[in-house]
Amino acid sequence: MHKLLLNRDIYLELIQQHVPNTKRFLWIVTADIKDMHVEAGRSFIPFLELLADLVSRGVAVRLIHAKEPGPRFREDFDRFDKLVNSELFERILCPRVHTKAMIIDNELAFVGSPNLTGAGMGSKHEDKRNFEAGFLFDDAESIQALVSWVDQLYLGEYCYSCKRREYCPDPIDESFSDIRAGLPG
């Protein structure tokens, strides 16, 4: 399957249908992250609550983002002990990340333009959300390439040669500063 999702369809298919049905792991890569809310029955809940529910069910969640989330996201985040205290929830910040992608159970992936925000993912009102596009796919070879790349990013393999280290507010491994000091220019 290789399916183009546009605007609200990203929210309806990816966020509403596939993310809640994740069984083993969900990896999210985004440049920007805000306090997005999603429909749950007849009400709306923070997307973080959905992630906390996944973690409660034993799903490993990895979140990689480029900048500090806004204050409402941070307030909501602190309310979910499952995210704050679980080894199943991993989060790193890398200011060089501009990719927007999700990988679900190594079986389904989405790569596109939307950040993890209500306006980006299409959960906001029709007249307030962004115009976004992306591809949902289940091609094993492409998913494996994406998984490998995200894993390298998460493990800090790009930190060794990063020339933007001074802008990194939350280095993956402080020892990279010492290692880089010994590398030739």
Bridge partners (DSSP) of residue 30 are 65
Residue type, 150: V
Lowest mean pLDDT among 57-71, 89-103, 107-121, 148-162: 148-162
Confidence of residue 84 (pLDDT cuts 50, 70, 90): very high
Give the count of domains, the chain. Answer: 1
Give the domain CATH number at 39: 3.30.870.10
pLDDT at 54 over 90: yes
Mean pLDDT within 172-177: 56
167 occurs within a structural domain: no
Cα–Cα dist 19/112, whole Å: 16
Confidence of residue 174 (pLDDT cuts 50, 70, 90): low
Q: Is 68 helix (H, G, I), strand (E, B) or coil?
A: coil
Mean pLDDT within 72-79: 90
- Percent above pLDDT 90 for the chain: 71
115 occurs within a structural domain: yes
Alpha helices (runs of H) in the chain, residue ranges in sequence order: 8-9, 47-56, 71-78, 81-85, 118-121, 140-154, 175-181
184 occurs within a structural domain: no
